[in-house]
Structure 1
């Protein structure tokens, strides 16, 4: 399976998992000039910007170590752009940044809430 196909399958698995947890999908693969967000979800409290990470083996170091500070910054800037596009005020919109980690031989994803 190609890297793109694997990434797409991982995002679908993460989406299915989050939907099972009661979240609603707002957008998928949101792209803008400053970055990309894999999934944008909503719960009763606000918006959730989700980064999906997939590894094919169990040698998955701490998930947060896999996300560089520059990547967090790009995701945050993309989230700001999304809010502007939706005419939402960043100061009054509840939001957080989560990570879903998937490992090929594990059944359940690891969900890091408010990861960065």
Structure 2
């Protein structure tokens, strides 16, 4: 299957976010974990906390920025996917968890990540 430019942009945004988070000491557990409820972009470990990271990239802010795209409906899908992840990967179930968002809005000077820790509660 040939990747579309949107898929390539998404992968680059995930790569960029992963490098940014690893530079801040987080460890990758899993990438693009899929289930019937959706996909978890990055699952990372920050100390003993399991961090579910949603990566959002927007080239244009015409329909809202990257951060605004993580609406209540999207949050609910992420929570459900995270619950299923913890059921399947039971070794992480007793760890504290949080949801982070890395929002990347493209600008003339390049992409700048906005990392929101504990962006919403489950």
Assess same fold via TM > 0.5.
yes
Seen in structure 2, the aligned counterparts of structure 1 residues 3 and 93 have a Cα distance that, compared at 3 Å, is same
Between Structure 1 and Structure 2, the one with more strand by share is 2
Query: TM-score normalised to the size of structure 1?
Result: 0.87
Unaligned runs of 5+ in 2: none
Aligned mates of 2:20, 2:77 — CA distance in 1: 25
Write out per-residue CA displacement over residues 30-79 of structure 1, whole angstroms, 9 at most, x where no aligned residue. 1001121100010113100000011113665471x311211111111111
Seen in structure 2, the aligned counterparts of structure 1 residues 34 and 58 have a Cα distance that, compared at 3 Å, is closer
Q: How many residues align?
A: 114
Cα deviation, residue 96, structure 1: 0.2
Question: Which one is further off, 105-114 or 79-88?
Answer: 105-114
RMSD of aligned residue pairs (Cα, Å): 1.9
Cα deviation, residue 87, structure 1: 1.4
Runs of 4+ in 1 over 6 A off after TM superposition: none
Match of 2:115 in 1: 111
